[in-house]
Amino acid sequence: MAISCLQESLKLDPTSGKSYYYLGRCFSVFGRAHDAFVAYRHSIDKSESSAETWCSIGVLYQQQQQPMDALQAFVCAIQLDEKLYSAWIDLGLLYEHYFQFRDALQCYRKAAEQKPGKCHACLFFAL
């Protein structure tokens, strides 16, 4: 339902980068990785690069077992918005998965700086 609504909205406004972003999120949830990547690419092409879009691309790469591409996407997200809490957490999870615990801890600390109220979650991941 959401996918068809977003596709209809894009017929009305094919320049909406945000609609492509949400379409990519929907495709990702349903395991349609290729379609998600295409939608995210359109999102980037149609609007200014968004940290949220790059973070979502990183998560998708991580799910596809492409850690170097995920790393690049998370770094891009952080360069666009260093206060994006989720990008720091996702980058930390990537580092942790590949036993780069010091780098992971540094990412969790950066996330905690952005969202002090969620510091307990960062500490949980770091332990």
Range of the domain at 3: 1-49
Identify the CATH number of the domain in which residue 31 sits: 1.25.40.10
Same domain, 41 and 68: no
Q: Which long-range contacts (CB under 8 A, 24 or more apart) does 107-116 make?
A: 110/82, 111/85, 114/83, 114/84, 114/85, 114/88, 115/85
Which two three-digit tokens encode residue 80?
Answer: 């666009």
Number of domains in the chain: 2
Which region among 34-48, 50-64, 94-108 has the lowest average model confidence (pLDDT)?
Answer: 34-48
User: In this prediction, what percent of the chain has a pLDDT beyond 70?
Assistant: 91
Is the CB of residue 56 less than 8 Å from the CB of residue 82?
A: no
Does 41 share its domain with 60? no
Same domain for 54 and 43? no
Q: What is the pLDDT of residue 114?
A: 86
Q: Domain check: are 70 and 80 in the same one? A: yes
pLDDT of residue 94: 98
- Check whether 28 has a pLDDT greater than 70: yes
pLDDT per position as a tens digit, 72-101: 999 999 999 999 999 999 999 999 999 999
Average pLDDT over residues 62-70: 97
117 and 66 together in one domain? yes
Mark whether 22 and 44 lie in a shared domain.
yes
